[in-house]
Chain A
Amino acid sequence: MRSEKLASWRLIEYTTIAVEITGSIALGLVVAGSILALLGYDPARGIFLLVFGGLRNPDYLLSRAAFIAMTALAFSIPLLAGVFNIGGEGQMYLGGLAALLAAVYSGNAAVAILAGGLAGAALGLIIGALKAYRDVNEVVSAIMLNLTLFYVIVYAITAELYDPVAPHESIKVPKGARLGVIRFGGLKLHIIFPLMLALVAVAYYLLYHTKLGYEIRASGFSPKAARYAGIDPKKTSVYSMVIGGFFAGVGGALNVVGFTYYIDNLLTCMYGMGFTGIGVALMGRNNPIGVALASIFFSMLVLGGSRMQMLMRVPKEVADTLSGVIIVALSLPYAYRMLISYIRIRRMVGVGAEQHS
Chain B
Amino acid sequence: MSAGKTGTKIAAIIIIIIIIAAAAGWWYTTTRPPAKKAKIAVLFDVGGRGDLSFNDMAWLGAEKAMEDFKVDVTYLTPPSLADMKPLLEEYASSGEYSLLVLIGFLWTTPLNETADKYPDQKFALIDATTGVVRPNEVDILFREQECACLMGIAAAGMAHTLGGDTVAACAGMDIPPLWKFHIGYLFGVKYYDLKMGTTTNFLWTYTGTFTDPSIGKEYTRGLLEQGAKVVYGLAGLTHLGSFEAVKEWHKTTGELVFAMGQDASQEWIDPEHIPISGAKRVDVAVYTAIKMVVKGPWEGGIITLGLKEEGVGIWDIDGVKWFAEQASSAGRLAPELTPDKVADTVSQLRETYITPEVWDLIHDLEDDIKAGRIVFKTPMTHDEYESIISALMAAQSLEDLNVALEKGSVS
A252-279 with Cβ < 8 A to chain B: 255, 259-260, 262, 264-266, 268-273
Contact residues of A: prevailing secondary structure: helix
A310-B82 contact in complex given A60-B90, A266-B211, C-beta closer than 8 Å: no
Any A CB within 8 A of the CB of B109: yes
B174 and A167 within 8 A (CB)? yes
Using a CB-CB cutoff of 8 Å, which residues 80-125 of chain B contact chain A? 80-83, 85-87, 90-91, 105-106, 108-109
- CB A250 to nearest CB in B, in angstroms, measures 16
Q: Nearest residue in B to A168 (C-beta to C-beta)?
A: B105
Give Cα A269 to B85, complex, Å: 11
Pairwise interchain contact B108-A268, C-beta atoms closer than 8 A: no
Chain A contacts with B in 51-85, Cβ cutoff 8 A: 56-57, 59-60, 63-64
User: B residues within 8 A CB of A287?
Assistant: none
Q: A158-B208, A167-B175, A310-B41 are in contact. Are A315 and B49 (CB under 8 A)?
A: yes
Q: Mark B163-182, 1 if CB is under 8 A from A, else 0.
A: 00000000001110000000
Q: Is the CB of A302 within 8 A of B82?
A: no
- Please, which residues of chain B bring their CB within 8 A of the CB of A56? 90
Q: Which A residues have a C-beta under 8 Å from some C-beta of B?
A: 56-57, 59-60, 63-64, 154, 158-159, 165-169, 255, 259-260, 262, 264-266, 268-273, 302, 305-306, 309-311, 313, 315-317
A317 partner residues in chain B, CB cutoff 8 A: 50
In Å, the complex CA distance between A165 and B128 comes to: 12
Complex Cα distance A259/B75, Å?
A: 24
Cβ–Cβ < 8 Å partners of A306 in chain B: 76, 78-79, 83, 87
Closest Cβ of chain A: how far from B75's Cβ, in Å? 7
Interface size class of B (residues with CB under 8 A): 20 to 34
State A315–B74 Cα separation when bound (angstroms).
11
A155→B323 CA distance, assembly (Å): 35
- List B contacts of A167 (CB < 8 A): 173-175
CB distance from B213 to the nearest CB of A (A): 14
Q: Which residues of B contact A305 (CB under 8 A)?
A: 79
Interface residues of B (CB under 8 A from A): 41, 46, 48-50, 74-83, 85-87, 90-91, 105-106, 108-109, 131, 173-175, 208-209, 211
CB within 8 Å for A264 and B77 given contacts A158-B208, A167-B173: no
Q: Within the assembled complex, what's the spacing in Å between the Cα atoms of A111 and B90? A: 31
| A and B contact pairs by CB, cutoff 8 A, 9 listed | A60-B86, A60-B87, A63-B86, A260-B82, A265-B173, A268-B81, A270-B80, A310-B74, A315-B49
Partner of B175 from A159, A168, A302, A311 at Cβ < 8 Å: A168
For the complex with contacts A268-B106, A302-B79, 20 further pairs of A-B residues with Cβ separation under 8 Å are: A56-B90, A57-B86, A64-B82, A64-B83, A158-B208, A166-B108, A168-B173, A271-B80, A272-B80, A306-B78, A306-B83, A309-B76, A310-B75, A310-B91, A313-B74, A315-B50, A316-B48, A316-B49, A316-B77, A317-B50
> Inside 8 A of B90's CB, which chain A residues have their CB?
56-57, 60
A158-B173, A273-B80, A310-B76 known; A268-B86 Cβ under 8 A = no
List the B side residues contacting A57 at CB < 8 Å: 86, 90
CA gap between A60 and B54 in the complex, in Å = 29
CB of A269 within 8 A of CB of B82, answer yes
Least CB distance from B33 to A in Å reads 19
Residues of A close to B174: CB separation below 8 A:
167
Closest to A308 in B: B76
Residues of chain A lying within 8 A (CB to CB) of residue B79: 302, 305-306, 316
Which residues on B sit within 8 Å (CB–CB) of A165?
A: 131
Quick check: A268 and B80 within 8 Å, CB to CB?
yes
**Can you name the residue of chain A whose Cβ is closest to the Cβ of B105?**
A168
Please indicate the chain A residues that have their CB under 8 angstroms from the CB of B131 in the complex.
Answer: 165
Known A268-B46, A313-B74; judge A262-B80 contact (CB<8 A).
no
Give complex CA distance A266, B76 in Å: 20
Closest A-chain residue to B78, C-beta based? A306
- CB distance A309 to B81 under 8 Å? no
Roughly how many angstroms separate A265 CA and B175 CA in the complex, as a whole number?
13
A57, B87: Cα distance in complex, Å: 9
